[in-house]
Amino acid sequence: MAQNEKIGIVLDVETTGLSPHTNEIIELFMIKFSFDQKTGRFIETLDEYSTFNEPSSSISSQITRLTGITNEMVKGASLDLGEILDFCSDVEYFFAHNASFDRSFIIKVMPELVHRKWHCSMRHVKWKNHGFPNMKLGTLLDGHGILNDQAHRANSDTRSTLELMLKTNSAGHTYLKEMTSRKPMALPASMKTGPSGQTSKYSYRRARKMAEQEMAASREKKAPFRYQTKKNVDS
Model confidence at 222, pLDDT cuts 50, 70, 90, reads low
pTM for the complete prediction?
0.86
Rounded distance between C-alpha atoms, residue 4 and residue 38, angstroms: 6
Structural domains for the chain: 5-234 (3.30.420.10)
| Span 143-157, average pLDDT | 97
Cβ atoms 59, 21 nearer than 8 A: no
In the predicted model, is pLDDT for residue 186 greater than 50?
yes
Mean pLDDT of 219-223: 53
Q: Are 223 and 127 in contact (CB under 8 A)?
A: no
Residue 85 C-beta-side C-alpha neighbours within 13 Å: 13
Judge whether residue 223 has pLDDT over 50: no
